[in-house]
Structure 1
Amino acid sequence: MDKTTQLREEKIGKLLLKFFIPAVIGNLVNALYNIVDRVYIGRGVGDLALAGLSITFPIMIVIAGFGMLMGIGGSVLESLNLGKKDKENADKVLGNTFVLIIISSIVVSILCFIIKNPLLKAFGASANTIQYADEYLSIILLGTIVQNLGFGLNNSIRSEGNANIAMITMIIGAALNIILDPIFIFVFHMGVKGAAIATVISQTANAVWVISHFRSKKSVLKLKKENLKLDLKIVKGIVAIGMAPFAIQVAGSAVNILLNKQLIVYSGDSAIGAMGVINSISMLIIMSIISVTQAAQPIIGYNYGAKLYSRVKKTLKLAVSGAVFIGIVSDVIIQLFPENIISIFNKEPNLIAIGSHGIKIFLCMLPIIGYQIIGSNYFQAIGKAKISMLLAMLRQVLVLIPLLLILPKHLGITGVWIAAPISDTIAFFITAFMFKKEVKKLDVYELDNAPCMGA
């Protein structure tokens, strides 16, 4: 059974699991990029260096956001075109995605270099942490193109049904990073610079692997020279669909900037380091949930395009169940072992005390976050980018940022921690209402496309 036929005919449960396993392995391994850097730097350099890395996190989120903007936008269009049996246009989308990633990466890296120092200070860098943040970011910016090509185009590999290849992409980069980090940090004594160099080398390996795939016989989609000319209609489609995940990334950056500012005001550098650890743990869990959406996206996109709506409904039901289950299990572990989790990154008692208290509150609504992410990404998978963006922005911007501005004034650092679960809860109810309303439309579409019975 070829890659596109299985999207149409294979049992949904088996198909979703087939796509989920490599996606979650790849994404968790991918999450290790930042986590491994933080563990080695937290233990090998110190808590101030760990805080310095946390300062760069919002900038790195925005940089990765451009790869996500083009990569996810392109992959959704590719899935929809493959579902319509229009492979020629799907190849054109891939070529346009490739060019857009390169252009956007060059522009964003140059801009970041120009305003790097004021940017770091604006994001919460203190006199104690700015040196570490500057050293790390300067090298990471040099790898912007390879980072976004590797991670962005990996979505296209997934959209064509090659989930195992997408998993290998993530494993290659993370395995290299895990090997190179201790060499550059401890053997060559390069500190945070060494961690950044290891990361860029690993990202370069990712990019080479992904591009080689689309030039090989194994790929469904082909990266062709004639498709590298930008098509305005395709560009608009990619940007429109990819804007929702990009908005999530930028919103995440804005939230992290505000978090750093509030943590400095109501606690200090150790709190920023603790927040960096919490972000790392959150990333592991959220990436697991996103793996469910990534597994579901090509199935939903293809079958929605092919008007096989019963398969779309089955996929959604299983995806929601899986995402909620991941959230429940993760929440239980965090509530039971917060100190053990934080101490993996750093043994400084104050950081452990702040972090273990914060993580229990900040991530306590993980079960409903899973539902909210599935609901938001469903609209993205069927090409309804504006609704997807609105739902994505609820948690990260429209509700959370006002809470972060108001609550700490009355509750101190506790106000920072409780802002997230309150925001998660409000976003959940709004998403549930809109998601259920949209899913009900599938029943109508299914009846409209049912074969007419003779009288």
Structure 2
Amino acid sequence: MDRSEEMRDGNIGRLLWSFSWPAIIAMLVNSLYNVIDRIFVGRGIGSLAIAATTVAFPIMIILMAVSILIGVGATALISIRLGEQRKEDAEKVAGNGIAMIILLPAVLAIIFLLFAEPILVAFGASAEVLPYAKDFTQIIMLGSVFGSISMGANNFIRAEGNPKMAMYTQLLGAVVNTGLNYVFIFILGWGIKGSALGTVLAQMLSAAWVLSYFLSGRSLVKIRLKNLKPNWPILTGIMAIGFAPFAMQVANSIQQLILNKTLMFYGGDMALSAVGIMMSISTLLFMPILGLAQGAQPIIGFNYGAQQYKRVKETWKKAVLAGTCIAAAGYLAIHIWPEQLTGLFSNEDIALTALTTHAMLTFMAMFPIIGFQIISSTYFQAVGKARQAAVLSLSRQVLFFIPLLLILPHFWGIEGVWRTAPIADTLSIMLTAALIYREMRKLSENEDRPAYDHEATDNSQASGALCSSESQ
């Protein structure tokens, strides 16, 4: 059974497992090396260096957002085009995606390097933290193109049905980054510059690995020189679908900026360090759910393109169940070992450990149900419904978290910062439930219709627009 037949006819549970476990392992390793990096920074340099990486985080999120804008949008369209048996069009999407993944981060890097200090101050750097943040972020931005290729183009590998290869990309970067960070910080004594340099060198190696896969002839979807020329209908289709996760990441960056400013006002550098530690731990718990979502996306997209709506529903249901189990396990971990987890990042700093522990337990109070929201948002991305995906992706940050973050601390001080997240999570999950219930009802109605009726369903957004544009 070839890849297309397996996607169309294979057992959903086995398919979801085979696509998800490589992504979950890769995401776990990827987040684990970020945790280890921050442990190295905290123990090898100090708490101000942790605060510096927290200040730099919104800028790195913007870089990630650009990679996701192109990577996720192109991945969804590649999966749909392969499901429609349109391999040549899938290659056009991949070629345009590669071109934008290189160009956009390069533009962002130039802008940052011209205005580094005012940008970092705007993102919450104090006078003590600014030198560390500047040293770290400048090196990261110089290597931004490599990070974008390794993240964005790696999604194309997963879209064509090769999740193991995509996993190897992330494993390679994670292992090299961890090793280089240890050598540069503890052995060579290069401080926070060494941490950034280790990250960039690892991204360079991962980018070379991804490009070698497409250029060596091993890939199903080929990267052809003629397809690198920008095609506006293709780019608009990519960006329409990728806009939801892109906007979510930009909202994350804005949220982090406001959070940093609020923390500095109510808690100072220690509160900023506490959030840096908390983000590392929460990322470690989030990544397996995101890996599961990545595994489900090509299965949902392929079968939606092939009008196999029962398989689409089954994939979503099983992914939600698995995501909820993962989230529940993470929730138990932070309640059983909160002091042990937070204590890994500081050298006997009892006050920092206590603050981080309390903040994490409050901030992540609604974590057990977050898997449902992530998988459902990914579903809308996978089927090309950009509007719904954008609403769900932005609901937590823009509609709920940021307004609550601006209001609650006025009443509760620093405690209001920690209580913002569980309230925002609850409201966004309620919205997600309403949209996904309506969508599942529509799929059920379409299951028994003949194929020509399926074409009249409401997939008339970015994916349909691109289809008609390309055929002209």
TM-score by length of 2: 0.94
Regions of 4+ moved over 4 Å: none
* Corresponding position of 2:433: 432
* Corresponding position of 1:351: 352
* Corresponding position of 2:327: 327
Q: 1: distance between equivalents of 2:365 and 2:321?
A: 18
* Corresponding position of 1:208: 208
SS of residue paired to 1:447: coil
Shift of 1:216: 2.3
* Corresponding position of 1:20: 20
* Corresponding position of 2:399: 398
* Corresponding position of 1:277: 277
* Corresponding position of 2:457: none
Aligned length: 452
Going from structure 1 to structure 2, the CA distance change for 1:66 and 1:33 (only over 3 Å counts) comes to farther
Q: Over residues 322-359 of structure 1, what are the superposed CA-to-partner deviations in whole Å (9 max), with x where a residue is unaligned?
A: 11111111111112211111111113112101100000
Shift of 1:433: 0.7
Once the two structures are superposed, the pairs formed by residues 287-302 of structure 1 within 5 Å of their partners are: 287-302=287-302
Q: 1: distance between equivalents of 2:332 and 2:36?
A: 24
SS of residue paired to 2:448: helix
SS of residue paired to 1:247: helix
Q: 2: distance between equivalents of 1:244 and 1:233?
A: 18
Q: Over residues 253-299 of structure 1, what are the superposed CA-to-partner deviations in whole Å (9 max), with x where a residue is unaligned?
A: 11111111111111110111110111111111221111111111000
Contact between 1:33 and 1:199, CA under 8 Å: does it hold in 2? no
Shift of 1:33: 4.3
Contact between 1:173 and 1:205, CA under 8 Å: does it hold in 2? yes
Q: Residue 245 of structure 1 aligns to which amino acid in structure 2?
A: P
Q: 2: distance between equivalents of 1:346 and 1:175?
A: 23
Q: 2: distance between equivalents of 1:372 and 1:442?
A: 19
Contact between 2:307 and 2:451, CA under 8 Å: does it hold in 1? no
Shift of 1:451: 11
Which shifted more, 12-21 or 111-120? Answer: 111-120
Once the two structures are superposed, the pairs formed by residues 128-147 of structure 1 within 5 Å of their partners are: 128-147=128-147
Contact between 1:125 and 1:133, CA under 8 Å: does it hold in 2? yes
Q: Over residues 226-274 of structure 1, what are the superposed CA-to-partner deviations in whole Å (9 max), with x where a residue is unaligned?
A: 1111111100001101111111111111111111111111111011111
Going from structure 1 to structure 2, the CA distance change for 1:409 and 1:226 (only over 3 Å counts) comes to same
SS of residue paired to 2:234: helix
Once the two structures are superposed, the pairs formed by residues 438-453 of structure 1 within 5 Å of their partners are: 438-449=439-450
Q: 2: distance between equivalents of 1:214 and 1:83?
A: 20
Q: 1: distance between equivalents of 2:452 and 2:403?
A: 51
Contact between 1:49 and 1:129, CA under 8 Å: does it hold in 2? yes
Q: 2: distance between equivalents of 1:4 and 1:252?
A: 36
Which shifted more, 417-426 or 213-222? Answer: 213-222
Q: 2: distance between equivalents of 1:303 and 1:218?
A: 24
TM-score by length of 1: 0.98
Shift of 1:450: 6.9
Contact between 1:7 and 1:299, CA under 8 Å: does it hold in 2? yes
Shift of 1:32: 3.3
Q: 1: distance between equivalents of 2:318 and 2:371?
A: 12
Q: 1: distance between equivalents of 2:407 and 2:242?
A: 31
Q: 1: distance between equivalents of 2:220 and 2:11?
A: 21
Once the two structures are superposed, the pairs formed by residues 48-197 of structure 1 within 5 Å of their partners are: 48-197=48-197
Q: Residue 394 of structure 2 aligns to which amino acid in structure 1?
A: M
Shift of 1:217: 3.0
Q: 2: distance between equivalents of 1:52 and 1:371?
A: 33
SS of residue paired to 1:345: coil
